[in-house]
């Protein structure tokens, strides 16, 4: 990574102190900067006018854990929604192709029927007699003999016409059956999208209600706890020496992907979004790599399934780090132990420590 990019990331990391992601199970999200001078222990606010004492840390830890679970469940539902959306788009495109093929097949069948009608009318004009009868009854047998080849060719043409009509009719049936199957799948995925959307909204609404019930001092203390947890997780991850052997340099496409992701810093997280004004986690990574000229799967789970896995020690900027056992979150490795990602609802695309969440593994889009 160049000096300019390292400086940009360093500055972003400084800002990221205010938005560091959580390190406990659940959908990752960034934490605001702890309020300077805030007390680490609960108690009444000093001053003449008493204010409600914030709850003990253990109660706020429960709140934090509950928020983690809610946002994690929302992330899982978002992945399901995105997967259903992707399938719906593919099925809609397939149905459009089949519809065009059916239309073309019907037009072709009409043309073949016209040809068959013309052949039947020609046969009618000759009386519909077989060649032998025409020879015996003709006043000019030589003419019949000369035309025998023409008759044979005509029979071959008729057989070919019948075969073509049969194949076209069979193709039309296959296209219709395929279209019906695609419509059924489309309906299934529409229902899956609707169910996932309902789950997402329910989880996010519950999380927002929980946060809204907190007093200002409680929110500030909760932010401190989040930042402390993220710092602790990142420190423990770095202390393992995991980065000692990480010396990989970004590929050309990887560099472009990181540049794209960096340019999105500060844009809001919106579930199901793929830019340009907002993103969810896999929307950011998939668009970054699409911009780099390497389309990848839309969801974090499919990115984990389909892209080549690499060891953490071998990762390089541009690689994707997949988080949590269910592969429900993804971030782009930016180098120096940092990631760029879209954390969760209510937060923006940010820089964070790569070890602030449980790492499932690393994948490489341009392997």
Question: Which residues are known catalytic residues?
Answer: 281, 329, 341
d(Cα 351, Cα 232) in Å, to the nearest integer? 16
**Residue 70: CA atoms inside 13 Å, Cβ hemisphere, count?**
18
Q: Do the Cβ atoms of 79 and 297 come closer than 8 Å?
A: no
**Residue 198: CA atoms inside 13 Å, Cβ hemisphere, count?**
6
d(Cα 266, Cα 19) in Å, to the nearest integer? 10
Task: Give the total residue count for the chain.
Answer: 367
* Phi-psi label, residue 316: left if phi above 0, alpha if psi -120 to 50, beta otherwise: beta
d(Cα 244, Cα 273) in Å, to the nearest integer? 36
Range list of H helices, the chain: 3-16, 57-125, 131-137, 141-212, 216-239, 252-263, 281-291, 300-306
Q: Do the Cβ atoms of 27 and 344 come closer than 8 Å?
A: yes
Burial of 265-292, coded b for 16+ CB within 10 Å and e otherwise, reads bebebbbbbbbeebbbbbbbbbbbbbbb
Angle between helix 3-16 and 252-263 (nearest 10): 40
From residue 39, alpha-carbon distances to 46, 48, 161, 162, 291 in Å are: 11, 18, 90, 89, 46
């Amino acid at each position: 990574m160049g000096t300019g990019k390292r400086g940009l990331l360093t500055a972003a990391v400084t800002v990221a102190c205010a938005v560091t992601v959580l390190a406990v199970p659940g959908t990752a999200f960034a934490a605001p900067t702890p309020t300077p001078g805030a007390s680490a222990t609960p108690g009444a606010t000093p001053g003449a006018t008493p204010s409600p004492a914030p709850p003990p840390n253990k109660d706020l830890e429960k709140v934090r854990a509950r928020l983690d679970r809610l946002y994690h469940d929302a992330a899982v539902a978002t992945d399901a929604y995105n997967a259903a959306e992707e399938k719906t788009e593919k099925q809609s495109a397939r149905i459009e192709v089949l519809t065009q093929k059916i239309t073309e097949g019907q037009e072709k069948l009409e043309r073949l029927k016209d040809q068959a009608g013309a052949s039947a009318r020609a046969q009618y004009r000759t009386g519909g007699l077989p060649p032998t009868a025409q020879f015996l009854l003709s006043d000019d047998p030589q003419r019949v003999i000369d035309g025998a080849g023409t008759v044979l060719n005509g029979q071959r043409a008729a057989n070919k016409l019948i075969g073509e009509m049969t194949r076209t009719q069979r193709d039309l049936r296959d296209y219709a059956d395929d279209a019906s199957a695609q419509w059924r799948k489309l309906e299934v995925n529409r229902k899956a999208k609707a169910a996932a959307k309902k789950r997402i909204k329910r989880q996010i609404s519950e999380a927002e209600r929980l946060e809204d019930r907190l007093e200002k001092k409680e929110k500030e203390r909760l932010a401190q706890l989040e930042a402390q947890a993220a710092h602790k997780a990142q420190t423990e991850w770095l202390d393992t020496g995991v980065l000692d052997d990480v010396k990989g340099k970004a590929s050309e496409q990887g560099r472009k992907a990181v540049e794209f992701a960096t340019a999105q810093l500060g844009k809001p997280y919106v579930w199901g979004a793929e830019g340009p004004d907002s993103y969810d986690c896999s929307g950011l990574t998939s668009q970054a790599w699409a911009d780099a000229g390497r389309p990848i799967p839309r969801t974090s789970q499919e990115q984990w399934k389909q892209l080549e896995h690499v060891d953490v020690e071998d990762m390089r900027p541009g690689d994707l780090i997949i988080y949590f056992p269910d592969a429900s979150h993804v971030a782009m490795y930016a180098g120096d132990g940092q990631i760029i990602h879209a954390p969760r609802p209510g937060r923006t695309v940010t820089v964070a420590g790569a070890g602030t969440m449980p790492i499932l593994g690393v994948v490489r889009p341009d392997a």
